[in-house]
Structure 1
Amino acid sequence: MDKILVDSADHLYYLHKNKKLFLLLHLDCGFPFTSQARRKFIQDYLNRKGIVIRDFNENLPEIDWLHFRKRNKELSIRLAENTKRCKTALSEEHVNNFFDEFDATVKDVPSTNIVNYDGTNLPDDPGKEKIRRTMDTPKGSVSAMFAAVADGTLLPQYVVYKATNLYPEWIEGRPPGCQYNRSKSKWFDAVIFEDWFFKIILPYFKNKPGPKLLVII
């Protein structure tokens, strides 16, 4: 693919309307888009399109570039909010349609090539007997991503601490193949998700023949 060279980021208008709507759709669905994740999204888009912005280091926008939010008021940093009932409501028709589509999708995919993954939050305060919502709590927690193959194989876990640095004693005695990371929020942002994909999923799929399916259910 021939590369398109752009001298100044001020002339970056390659994020067309449909791409902006894609960003807004993620925001509306409640997906957290941090500043770092937004910058990585732009970098990945430019690389895929073969566009090189001379003002960007390896096509990664600087923090100052994110000031474009001032002229795009509909974009904002995602804050915590309760899930709306309309987004969680599922009818019998929706459920049946999902399984019809899923059956058609996995029809020609061997069970060894179907991986289901999901993340969860593990608090370090196990003493609570009742479920409740707590705001501004000082209690800590970690996030973990689990992945299982349709044939019953469990892939190594991926753990994220809420910290600036990752210390060796935190990973002593870890399960075989388990990977660790850290972030300011301890959530799986786009950067950490990409790291999980390249360290856990890609090595597993690498030598598997045939189509592959990575799904969260």
Structure 2
Amino acid sequence: MPGTDWARSFLQRHKKDISQKVASNIQRARANVSREDIVQYFENLSETLKHIPACIIFNYDETNVQDDPGKQRLLVRRGTKYPERICNFTKTPTTIMMCGSASGVLLPPYVICKAEKMWKQWIEPGPKDEPCCNNRCCSVGSRYNRTQHGWMDAQTFTDWLESAFVPHAKSLPRRNVLIGDNLLAV
């Protein structure tokens, strides 16, 4: 049976052909999507949006970020196998929803914290850049919400849609196109 020395030698002999990389974990459904499926999707999308101005085509996506208190070196009694540092938290997820138009207009971010209730200190002063329009939908700046898990769910998505996107879309002269991912596949 080949051992680790054989594997190391094999990799060394074939270093021009193969290399070791850290793999990303993806779901089986995503792995089953072929290149042809992706090409066909973008061809259909291009055809569908051919005569629609870029200023009314919007795309949204959310991403989850986590803080990490990290590990620290501790002075412990000799023989301690598993030193632990006690803290009130480990990793806390926060979700950020972003939405922008194909013409480059960026709506204010929508931030979802993991919490039982929102604290005023968390949201004042929130990020506020030049608003994309002077209407209330954008001039108030970032919007905040909370869930018990810190992720976007149907209720927070609906709140974002009703409080941020729809008011902005109503300020535009015609119907809008909103493209998103499989966010609500909960």
The TM tier, using the shorter chain, reads 0.5 to 0.7
Q: Which has the higher contact order (CA 8 A, sep 6+)?
A: 2
User: Which residue in 1 is equivalent to 2:84?
Assistant: none
Greater Cα radius of gyration, structure 1 or 2: 2
Q: Does residue 206 of structure 1 match 2:170? A: yes
Question: How high is the TM-score relative to the length of structure 1?
Answer: 0.54
Provide the rounded CA distance (Å) in 1 between the counterparts of 2:29 and 2:104.
34
Report how far residue 126 of structure 1 moved: 7.6
1:127 is displaced (CA, Å) by 5.5
SS of alignment partner, residue 125 of structure 2:
coil
Counterpart residue type for residue 63 of structure 2: T
Give 4+ residue runs of structure 1 displaced > 3 Å after superposition.
Answer: none
2:36 corresponds, among 93, 104, 109, to: 93
Q: Is the 8 A contact 2:169 2:175 kept in 1?
A: no
Is the partner of 1:142 in helix, strand or coil?
A: strand
TM-score where L is the length of structure 2: 0.63
Equivalent residue for 1:54?
none
| Change beyond 3 A, Cα 1:169–1:101 | same
Matches within 5 A, 1:158-169: 158-169=110-121
Identify the residue that residue 152 of structure 1 maps to in structure 2: 104
Give RMSD over aligned pairs: 2.1
Q: 1:160 to 1:139 in 2, by over 3 A?
A: same
Q: How many residues align?
A: 128
Query: Secondary structure, in 3 states, of the residue corresponding to 2:95?
Result: strand
5+ long unaligned stretches in structure 1: 1-81, 129-136
Equivalent in the alignment of 2:180 = 216
Counting only pairs closer than 5 Å after superposition, residues 10-159 of structure 1 correspond to structure 2 as: 83-125=26-68, 138-159=90-111
Distance 2:29 2:115 in 1: 35
Q: Is the 8 A contact 1:109 1:210 kept in 2?
A: no
Q: Counterparts in 2 of 1:163-178, with a 5 A limit?
A: 163-176=115-128, 177-178=141-142
Amino acid at match of 1:96: V
Once the two structures are superposed, what CA deviation does each residue of 1:11-61 show, in whole Å capped at 9, x if it has no partner?
A: xxxxxxxxxxxxxxxxxxxxxxxxxxxxxxxxxxxxxxxxxxxxxxxxxxx
Q: Where in structure 2 are there 5+ consecutive unaligned residues?
A: 1-24, 72-88, 129-140, 182-186
Q: State whether residues 60 and 178 of structure 2, in contact with CA within 8 Å, keep that contact through their aligned partners in structure 1.
A: yes
Deviations for 1:60-90, whole angstroms, at most 9, x for unmatched residues?
xxxxxxxxxxxxxxxxxxxxxx753243333
Separation in structure 1 between the aligned mates of residue 29 and residue 116 of structure 2, nearest angstrom: 37
Distance 2:171 2:158 in 1: 20
